[in-house]
Amino acid sequence: MKKEKITVVSSCNDAFAEHVSALFVSVLENTDHSTAIFDFYVIDDEISIANKRLMRETINEYAATLHFLTIDKKYFADAVESDRIPETAYYRIAIPELFRDQDLERILYLDCDMIALADISELWRIDLSEYVLAAVEDAGFHQRLEKMDIACASTKYFNSGFMLINMKKWLDEDVTNRVLRFIHDNPEKLKFHDQDALNAILHDQWLQLHPKWNAQSYIMKREVEHPDPEGEKEYFETRRDPKIIHYSGHIKPWSPEFTSSIKKYYEEYEEMTAFTDDDEEKGSAKLSSTQKLG
């Protein structure tokens, strides 16, 4: 049987090199390699040569390849940044354009503060034909579409840390340029930066997945209650069987301040990276790593 090639993209600076490596290991450890192989791509925001070497060493034993990509930063001259969300977080907007010349049906974007606990090849069987992307509702319930005065059929708002992208529809509908224009024209509306802009353009065009595929910290730590009973039932199911944990809060699991029991999932896979063998590089990778990338 022909193996399925799964393309996973993330965005990373030097401080997060170790953490995105833990994500990649978690994906690889939980996948049936008899049916799937992986192409990992990292949008490279000045990652050191030493850390790139450790990232490659981390996945050497698996059926996977790792590529580094660069993005022309001029496209993000209008990006609204904050202490928690730097320019790097906007790069996901341009990712499909980087693959325009490749024959890819879909790509999976994952934030680098995630850990997979299940076989993500299951996502490749989801019917995306009618949607630009599949995502999970954001657990913040900030009513962002209403506050941005977006006319929409549904006010549901997705978390952009996990996006299963339908390449053809994204490119055919010129999503990247439309989102960038929204950022340029409406900087005062962007409280949650690229996520606001993506939702402003793609509202009513995304397939809602079960929250277990993007089990945000607020869900796992019982910090939020879903306003809908069915949604609260799904939160309960997510805590029992998360597929991908998203450490979406300001404090990350590699920080001593992070005390939740879900820290163990990050630690398990971080210990399997090449970074654990090199204390000097490990310290460099962790410098300033409480900053949020997305």
Residue 216 lies in a domain: yes
Which pLDDT score is estimated for 83?
54
Q: Which residues constitute the domain of residue 128?
A: 4-286
pLDDT digits (tens, 9 = 90+) for 36-47: 899 999 999 889
Mean pLDDT, rounded, for 3-29: 95
Which pLDDT score is estimated for 120?
95
Q: Is the pLDDT of residue 281 over 60?
A: no
**Per-residue DSSP letters for 19-67?**
HHHHHHHHHHHTS-TTTEEEEEEEEEES--HHHHHHHHHHHTTSSEEEE
Which pLDDT score is estimated for 16?
94
Which pLDDT score is estimated for 290?
40
Which pLDDT score is estimated for 151?
80
**Bigger pLDDT: 178 or 147?**
178
pLDDT digits (tens, 9 = 90+) for 156-176: 889 999 999 999 999 999 999
Q: Is the pLDDT of residue 224 over 70?
A: yes
Total of domains in the chain = 1
Residue 28 lies in a domain: yes
- Residue with token string 């049987």: 1
Residue 273 lies in a domain: yes
Q: Is the pLDDT of residue 288 over 50?
A: no
Residue 291 lies in a domain: no
Residue 89 lies in a domain: yes
Residue 294 lies in a domain: no
Percent of the chain past pLDDT 70, that is, above it, reads 88
pLDDT digits (tens, 9 = 90+) for 50-88: 999 999 999 999 989 999 998 877 766 666 665 545 566
CA atoms of 262 and 16, how far apart (whole Å): 19
Residue 292 lies in a domain: no
Q: In the structure, what pLDDT confidence band is assigned to residue 105 with cuts at 50, 70 and 90?
A: very high
**Bigger pLDDT: 180 or 220?**
220
CATH number assigned to the domain comprising residue 16: 3.90.550.10
Q: Lowest mean pLDDT of 75-79, 103-107, 142-146, name the range.
A: 75-79
Residue 82 lies in a domain: yes
Q: Which of 65, 247, 96 is nearest to 177 (CA)?
A: 96
Q: Is the pLDDT of residue 129 over 50?
A: yes
Q: CA Rg, the chain, in Å?
A: 18
**Bigger pLDDT: 116 or 283?**
116
Q: In the structure, what pLDDT confidence band is assigned to residue 280 with cuts at 50, 70 and 90?
A: very low
Which pLDDT score is estimated for 249?
86
Mean pLDDT of the chain: 88
pLDDT digits (tens, 9 = 90+) for 186-204: 888 888 888 989 999 999 9
CA atoms of 138 and 161, how far apart (whole Å): 9
CA atoms of 205 and 289, how far apart (whole Å): 34
Which pLDDT score is estimated for 34?
84
Q: Lowest mean pLDDT of 31-35, 209-213, 223-227, name the range.
A: 31-35
